[in-house]
Amino acid sequence: MEKKGNYPTGPRTEDPDYVNMQNRYPKHKTCPGRYERTELKDKKKTGKIFICALGLLLTLGALSALCAVGIVYHNKVVSYEILSEQYSNVTTALMMQERKAKEIERLYEALKVENQQVLGRLSACNANQNSGHCEEGWKSVGLKSYYFSTFKLTWTQSRDYCVEKGGHLVIITSQTEQDFVSSQIGETHWIGLNDLETEGKWMWVNNQPLNEMGITFWFSAPEGPHEPDNWKNEDPSGENCAALGDANGNTHKWFDASCRKIKRCICEK
């Protein structure tokens, strides 16, 4: 090493004291300038703005998604309510149509029955022109014709009167026949039933026992009395002839009565 004066001429880094001083007192870094600090602040601010914008966009996206889901759900609910209302309306309309169809069917059946009755009456008239079935005053139902008298006779007189007209006192053999003759009268009428020969053994005028018919329409009240009761207060011989209806206007049941009473009668042939 060359020396100038009392100092060495080589690099000072070889001086241990110098190295130690450099290590003990390192050089300070150079501070950034004002422009660099402003640029750094702008970068930080830009980063914050970007993060905020990104968060806002994510929030808006989430809200949009929720809104879309809400709209879809609302539309489905509204559609379900509309469909439910339409289903209810259709069901109500179908029920009304079903009721109308049943009513039409009922009317059709009633008209068919009525038509059959009319055809039956026409057939009876055509088949019995010579027997007087279609003569004035007689009402034909099926193969039978009925005559309702306008004057009153005893039971025996009524029996003979019907024979003179070519028939006999009515013999009721079914609920349908009972309903028909009952619907044609407004007061009590004699029918062709009696127990004149043997008390309690009721016979039709064609000599057929009532108990063989298997059907009766005697009046029966819950508190009594039950018909026939053979009441003898008015006639000591009892009540041995049957009438449809009584003096009180009950024309839908049978009552036994004194054969001497005068009543209208029902003839058939």
Per-residue pLDDT of the chain (269 residues; tens, 9 = 90+): 444 444 445 444 455 555 555 555 455 444 555 555 666 666 666 777 778 777 778 887 777 777 777 787 777 777 778 888 888 888 898 888 888 888 888 777 776 766 665 565 556 555 555 444 456 799 999 889 999 999 999 999 999 999 999 999 999 999 999 999 999 999 999 999 999 999 999 999 999 999 998 899 999 988 877 899 998 988 999 999 999 999 888 899 999 999 999 999 999 99
**Do residues 158 and 181 touch, judged by C-beta distance below 8 A?**
no
Q: What is the pLDDT of residue 21?
A: 55
Q: Where are the beta strands (DSSP E) in 123-237?
A: 138-141, 144-148, 168-169, 189-194, 203-204
Q: Which residue has the tokens 């601010």?
A: 45
**Do residues 262 and 192 touch, judged by C-beta distance below 8 A?**
no
Domain ranges of the chain: 46-127, 138-268
Structure tokens that stand for 106 in this block? 């009922």
CATH architecture of the domain covering 138-268: Roll (3.10)
Look at residue 233 and give its three-state secondary structure: coil
Q: Which residue has the tokens 């009950």?
A: 250
Instruction: Count Cβ atoms below 10 Å from residue 195 Cβ, excluding itself.
Output: 19
Q: What is the pLDDT of residue 203?
A: 97
Residues with Cβ within 8 Å of residue 207, at least 6 apart in sequence: none
Q: What is the pLDDT of residue 1?
A: 43
**Do residues 255 and 193 touch, judged by C-beta distance below 8 A?**
no
Q: What is the pLDDT of residue 152?
A: 97
Look at residue 19 and give its three-state secondary structure: helix
**Do residues 263 and 152 touch, judged by C-beta distance below 8 A?**
yes
Q: What is the pLDDT of residue 216?
A: 95
Look at residue 196 and give its three-state secondary structure: coil
Nearest residue to 189 via CA among 232, 159, 215, 163: 159
Nearest residue to 252 via CA among 244, 260, 242: 244
Q: What is the pLDDT of residue 124?
A: 55
Nearest residue to 242 via CA among 155, 150, 148: 155
Q: What is the DSSP letter of 143?
A: T
Bond into 228 cis (ω within 30): yes
Q: How far is the C-alpha of 116 from the C-alpha of 134, rounded, in Å?
A: 17
Q: pTM score, two decimals? A: 0.52
Q: What is the pLDDT of residue 155?
A: 98
Q: How far is the C-alpha of 237 from the C-alpha of 205, rounded, in Å?
A: 20
Q: Which residue has the tokens 């602040």?
A: 41
